[in-house]
Structure formats: C-alpha cells, structure tokens
Amino acid sequence: MIKETLKIFSQNVRKNKTLMNTILENNKNNMDIILVQEPPKSFIRCVPSHTDPTGDPIYGTPNHPDWTLFIRQDPAQENYARVATCVNKKLQKMRFTLRLDIINHQDVNVLAFHSGQHINYIINVYSDDNQSALHFLNQNIVDLNNTVVMTGNFNIRDNDWNPNYPHHSAHTEDLLTLAESLGLNLSPPINPCPTRFADNPRDTNSVIDLAFINPNNSGFRQHFLHPELCITKGHLLFVMGALIL
C-alpha cells in the first residue's frame, strides 16, 4: 500500500510569469502539488496557417525541470486555460493524469492519481465573475469517488466564509451543492484573513479563494493562509496537507 502525505499549494498568480517561476523554484523541495489559477501565457512561435500568411500563434505556460505541468491545450487564444497544475516529479509513481475525458473546460483541472488500488482526484478551479466554471461543473460533474480536495479562486463573496462581509451570494448554494455532491466540506483556514487584497486601497479586501476537503480523510490538515510569503499584491497563497492511503 502506498502511503503519502501530500503537501498542496494553491494561488492565483494573476498571469504573472515571474511570480509563477519563483513559486516553482522556491517550492521544488518542500511542496508536492501546486495549483495555479490564472497562469501566465507566453508567445512561443507561429505555426503554418491556411488562413493567415504570418502563421497562427502558439502560446504556453512556464514550467520547471522539477515539475510536470498539467494544463488543457487549446489552439485558440481566447480559450487558453485559466488553471494549471504542477506536480513534483518525485511523485511519478502515483501516475498523475489530467482527466479531460471527465471535465474538459478551460477553468477546471480534474487531476487523477493512483495510491495502491485506489484512484483519487484533485480539482483545481478558477470561476470568473460570470461563474462560468461553477455553472459548467454543476451541469456536467459526474460521481467522482475519492475526491481529496477541490480548491481555487471561486470569485464568490459571502458571509458564510467571511464574517466581515454582510451579504450572501446567489451563487453560494450552487457551490455548496457541488461540493456536497463530491462528498466535500468547506475547510475554514487555521488563520482566517482576506485571500484577495484589493488593488485600490479604497476598496474592500475579500475572501474568494476557498478549499473544500473530504471529511473522511482523517489525515487532512486544515489549510493555512500565508500572507508573509506573498511576493506581489493580490491573492494569498495557501498550503494544505492530506494523508493518502
């Protein structure tokens, strides 16, 4: 039986290439999985085109030799993935795969991995202001037994996870219903604080980055927010751990 304690890191990098490169380098020896929302995209080259004499542009997301990058590929720039998942290469024995046959959407990664005879899942989500990913998941999600965690930037402000915010969102019920269908519960952080700092100091900071965990995983540690490790203003990073049997 394979027994692993996975250290999982999640952050919206707001398309910042330098930030993503720094995260990958700084965490190559102490993290197992890095979940990224709004990853950067860089022009790579042009390929021959039947319609454009200058060629069609190809874009890519930075990677690192110590990490395996999982990202949905789409030649159309407007459909470029808004989530990416990096798995430390020391975990190759767990056979991580991006399951596009389950969910094929630019804002969702469903990552499967093996532990012993079991297949487990991690779901990385970026849901924009229109809640595109949330609507898609509620309409297309299948029964994913052994989902370990669903986390990411959900862009939903609600009093349920931020007592300083006085309102409830119309999208909260949909999100909680989705989590329940996956057997997951909302995980409050050990050290509650805003997860998104406003660019304008006159605006209010918010809690929009959330984690939902499987309550049956007795080895799962509640996640920690790390404002002291933030390199740029924007979204906080958080770290969690799970015991995988």
Supply the pLDDT for residue 146: 87
Distance of CA 174 to the CA centre of its chain: 18
As a whole-number percent, the residues of the chain with pLDDT over 70 amount to: 85
Q: Are 149 and 123 in contact (CB under 8 A)?
A: yes
- Which string of DSSP letters, residue by residue, matches 94-156? G--EE-TTT--BTTEEEEEEEETTEEEEEEEEE--TT-HHHHHHHHH----TTEEEEEEE---
H or E segment to which residue 176 belongs: helix 172-181
What domains does the chain contain, in order, with CATH numbers? 4-244 (3.60.10.10)
Average pLDDT of the chain is: 87
Q: What is the pLDDT of residue 217?
A: 72
Predicted confidence (pLDDT) per residue in 31-72, tens digit: 999 999 999 987 666 777 777 777 766 676 878 999 999 999
55 vs 7 pLDDT, higher one: 7
Query: Per-residue pLDDT for 115 more than 90?
Result: no
Q: Which residue in this structure is represented by tokens 């190559």?
A: 28
**Band (1; pLDDT cuts 50, 70, 90):** very low
